[in-house]
């Protein structure tokens, strides 16, 4: 009877009414307000106020990534995936690649110099098409818009990942054309003490990773402090890399009195062992400080890699390739009254991506620093329990600077080029018994490429066990420093994408949910990197169009025994393919690197006495990729299976031990390039055995 009353009370309150909620164990009743109008922080604090467990489950599903105002995942105006810390820990994920590959529509493709890039719904989404946030800080670099993946960030420090599988530019601007990945790490309240974790992975021919993670957090009344450190070493693969061209000829000719005296031909085999030549070495420090409405975030991220692969040839030795970022934010949430809040914030970041300071005949120096200075102001006003308005603006300046004199000619005489961006955005959220309406837009003006305007419309509703979303949005991909200064004929324009989406979901039981969504995305003027004769370093230009249509289905069940997630993704580029560098000859419905069909699954079963077991895996249909300069090969369907076993001894509180095997079938997966660039497929890890040991001292009780 109490459960029934609690459900009825929650339904009444969610409709925007004010009422009384009976607290458990006969406590005094608590005055309840509109939970959907509260901040996520306020909602989470309700756990100690006598709110029923059924409501807690709903509260824990609220996210703010899609509308800047926390809402239920079934009402938020975007196609959403939420990944929790429990799911990450139980699955035994090694890094973000393992986590994101299980998200519907997400995949990875190989790129130059031992790097991976994201793909979304069959589209190449690296170089600024998906925004990656770490505790609200923009990880995408300001030179190319890239984020590098592979043993980069510690998944053990993550509290949750909120993912928009679709457009986000109306909120976040020009890096959120195809999606947003918002990573939130454990704060002072989540840690409540010290957490230490060590991971070691062994492939057949080399170690895969050897990492150390240390986090500490503490709250003193209104002051909360957290500090996290992650450092380690890794190898991308232990396989053999094959480049396009078997020998690289170098002719050394000596002339004596205009007569050829000797000709030496040196052959450099393009094959090489990835072990020891594909380093992935992270170093990350993350500091968070909160005091009432004031917060500070500072991040140092030094990602050190090595590579022997360049466009079309292999270097005789591995060269360093570093990605360094220094990020900071100061933000204040000023709640003027119960209806109005104002949030000013200042952001700064300095990044040095794709950095090589070793000058040689075959590997040129690249040492450029890019800085972004950002100031923003946002207002949120609850006109009533049913209507919320958000309005704001931001401005930022991008500046790049060459660190070595040998490179000052890249931008001509301008050695410190600057781009200026001004933006304004707004959103209205209207709750009605028939549906919930979200209407928003953003306008950007940039000194480098002009303007971009992106509106969005979302209609969502939940009826008993059903929910539905009808979504339409424009989004854009903003050209960044290198796009603008390496543009063909000296000019380039933003990408423009129009995406329509429909989602239907049905709650089969208290523990089961089935959702399905369809999408239609068209991108005009895609910004594409190309190389040509006479311009081996390449450049950027706008092509005609690209995009995809498709379907995504997901089944989820979560109960006391564990959880299970199954999803299927399908895309076709038919009618959207206008970039020859992405195309697969004879298959107008496919793009390079990405399978038309992908099945993912991850589960966890809680066994007795602290043991649990978690299988996971993916099945990919046929993929296509270049294996020679003018030759595309079909790679047969692939099945990747993993198994992770975890043990939490009851007598040693806070200790967790786990061991897992990844790529059980030893498929020796390779990541295919998603565009024609004279780069061979990038080998992934072979079968890897991973051991992880974690100890959490003074872990807070849930």
Tens of pLDDT, residue by residue over 137-187, are 999 999 999 999 999 999 999 999 999 999 999 999 999 999 999 999 999
pLDDT in tens, 428-457: 999 999 999 999 999 999 999 999 999 999
The enclosing H or E element of 371 equals strand 368-382
Tokens for 184, please give them.
Answer: 């939130």
3-state secondary structure (DSSP) of residue 314: strand
pLDDT at 439: 97
431 belongs to a structural domain? yes
Residue 410 has pLDDT above 70, yes or no: no
Residue 27 has pLDDT above 60, yes or no: no
In this prediction, residue 662 has a pLDDT band, given cuts at 50, 70 and 90, of very high
15 belongs to a structural domain? no
Region class of 464: left (phi > 0), else alpha (psi between -120 and 50), else beta: left
Distance between CA atoms of residues 300 and 31, nearest Å: 44
Over residues 521-544, mean pLDDT? 84
Q: Residue written as tokens 């419309």?
A: 457
3-state secondary structure (DSSP) of residue 85: helix
Q: How are beta strands 179-185 and 130-134 bridged, if at all?
A: parallel
Residue 395 has pLDDT above 90, yes or no: yes
pLDDT at 628: 76
Q: Nearest CA to 561 among 603, 605, 601, 602?
A: 605
Q: Nearest CA to 283 among 301, 259, 265?
A: 301
Distance between CA atoms of residues 310 and 362, nearest Å: 9
Which of the 8 DSSP states describes residue 152? -
In this prediction, residue 8 has a pLDDT band, given cuts at 50, 70 and 90, of very low
Over residues 477-492, mean pLDDT? 89
pLDDT at 660: 97
Mean pLDDT of the chain: 86
8 belongs to a structural domain? no
pLDDT at 537: 66
In this prediction, residue 581 has a pLDDT band, given cuts at 50, 70 and 90, of very high
Containing structural domain, residue 560: 61-697
pLDDT in tens, 271-310: 889 999 999 999 999 999 999 999 999 999 999 999 988 7
Quote the number of domains for the chain. Answer: 1
Q: Nearest CA to 306 among 234, 230, 211, 370?
A: 234
pLDDT in tens, 32-68: 344 444 444 444 444 444 443 332 353 346 777 777 7
Give the CA count within 13 Å in the CB-facing half-sphere of 332: 4
52 belongs to a structural domain? no
DSSP structure string for 545-608: EEEEEEEEEEEEEEETTEEEEEEEEEEE-TTT---GGGEETTEEEEETT--SEEEEEEEEEE-S
Distance between CA atoms of residues 189 and 446, nearest Å: 40
Residue 254 has pLDDT above 50, yes or no: no
50 belongs to a structural domain? no
416 belongs to a structural domain? yes
CATH number of the domain that residue 505 is part of? 2.40.170.20
What is the chain's percent helix, strand, coil content, to nearest 5? 10, 55, 35
Q: Nearest CA to 471 among 524, 517, 507, 430?
A: 517
In contact, 202 and 685? CB cutoff 8 Å: no
pLDDT at 458: 97
pLDDT at 414: 61
Residue 699 has pLDDT above 80, yes or no: no
217 belongs to a structural domain? yes
194 belongs to a structural domain? yes
How far is residue 240 from each of residues 151, 281, 306, 631, measured CA to CA in Å? 20, 20, 15, 20
Any idea which of 98-112, 235-249, 281-295, 359-373 has the lowest mean pLDDT? 235-249
Tokens for 408, please give them.
Answer: 């000052």
Q: Nearest CA to 481 among 340, 370, 329, 615?
A: 370
Gyration radius of the chain's alpha carbons: 26
pLDDT at 188: 96
């Amino acid at each position: 009877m109490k459960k029934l009353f609690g459900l009825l009370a929650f339904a009444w309150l969610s409709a925007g009414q004010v009422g009384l909620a009976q607290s458990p164990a006969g406590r005094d009743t608590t005055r309840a307000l509109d939970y959907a109008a509260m901040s996520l922080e306020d909602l989470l604090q309700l756990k100690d106020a006598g709110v029923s467990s059924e409501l807690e489950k709903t509260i824990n599903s609220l996210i703010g990534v899609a509308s800047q105002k926390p809402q239920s995942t079934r009402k938020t105006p975007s196609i959403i995936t939420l990944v929790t810390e429990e799911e990450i820990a139980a699955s035994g994920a090694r890094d973000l690649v393992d986590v994101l590959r299980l998200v519907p529509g997400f995949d990875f493709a190989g790129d130059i110099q031992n790097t991976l890039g994201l793909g979304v719904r069959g589209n190449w989404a690296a170089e600024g098409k998906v925004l990656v946030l770490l505790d609200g800080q923009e990880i995408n670099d300001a030179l190319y818009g890239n984020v590098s993946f592979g043993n980069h960030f510690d998944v053990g420090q993550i509290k949750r990942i909120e993912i928009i599988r679709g457009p986000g530019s109306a909120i976040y601007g020009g890096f959120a054309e195809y999606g947003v990945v918002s990573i939130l790490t454990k704060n002072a309240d989540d840690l409540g003490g010290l957490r230490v974790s060590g991971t070691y992975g062994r492939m057949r021919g080399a170690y895969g990773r050897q990492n150390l993670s240390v986090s500490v957090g503490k709250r003193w009344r209104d002051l909360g402090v957290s500090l996290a450190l992650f450092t380690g070493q890794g190898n991308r693969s232990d396989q053999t890399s094959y480049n396009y061209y078997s020998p690289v000829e170098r002719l050394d000719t000596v002339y004596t009195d205009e007569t050829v005296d000797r000709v030496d031909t040196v052959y450099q085999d393009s094959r090489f062992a990835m072990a020891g030549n594909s380093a992935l070495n992270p170093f990350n420090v993350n500091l968070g400080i909160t005091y009432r409405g004031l917060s500070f975030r500072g991040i140092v991220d030094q990602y050190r890699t090595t590579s022997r692969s360049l466009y079309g040839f292999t270097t005789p030795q591995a060269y360093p390739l570093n990605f360094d970022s220094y990020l900071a934010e100061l933000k204040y949430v000023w709640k003027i009254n119960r209806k109005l809040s104002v949030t000013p914030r200042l952001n700064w970041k300095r990044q040095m991506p794709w950095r090589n300071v070793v000058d040689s005949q075959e590997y040129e120096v690249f040492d450029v620093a890019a800085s972004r200075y950002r100031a923003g102001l946002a207002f949120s006003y609850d006109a009533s329990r049913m209507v919320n308005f958000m309005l704001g603006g931001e401005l930022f300046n991008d500046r790049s600077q060459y660190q070595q004199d040998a490179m000052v000619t890249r931008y001509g005489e301008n050695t410190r080029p600057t781009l200026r961006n001004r933006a304004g955005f707004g959103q209205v959220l209207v709750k009605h018994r028939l549906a919930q309406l979200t209407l928003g837009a953003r306008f950007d003006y940039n000194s480098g490429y002009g303007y971009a305007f992106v509106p969005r419309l979302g209609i969502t509703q939940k009826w008993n066990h059903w929910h539905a979303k009808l979504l339409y949005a424009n989004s854009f991909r903003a050209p960044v420093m290198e796009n603008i200064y390496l543009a063909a004929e000296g000019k380039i324009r933003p990408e423009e994408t129009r995406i329509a989406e429909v989602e239907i979901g049905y709650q089969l039981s208290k523990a089961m949910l089935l959702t399905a969504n369809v999408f239609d995305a068209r991108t005009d003027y895609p910004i594409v990197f190309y190389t040509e004769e006479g311009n081996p370093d390449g450049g950027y230009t706008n092509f005609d169009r690209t995009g995809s249509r498709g379907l995504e289905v997901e089944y989820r069940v979560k109960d006391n025994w564990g959880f299970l997630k199954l999803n299927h993704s399908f895309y076709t580029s038919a009618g959207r393919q206008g970039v020859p560098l992405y195309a697969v000859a004879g298959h107008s419905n496919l793009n390079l690197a990405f399978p038309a069909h992908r099945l993912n699954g991850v589960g966890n079963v809680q066994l007795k006495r602290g043991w649990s077991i978690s299988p996971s895996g993916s099945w990919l249909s046929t993929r296509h990729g270049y294996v020679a300069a003018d030759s595309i090969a079909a790679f047969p369907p692939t099945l990747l299976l993993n198994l992770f076993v975890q043990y939490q001894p009851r007598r040693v509180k806070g200790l967790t031990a786990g061991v897992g095997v990844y790529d059980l079938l030893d498929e020796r997966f390779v990541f295919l390039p998603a565009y024609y660039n004279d780069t061979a497929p990038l080998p992934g890890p072979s079968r890897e055995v991973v051991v992880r040991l974690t100890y959490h001292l003074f872990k807070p009780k849930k």
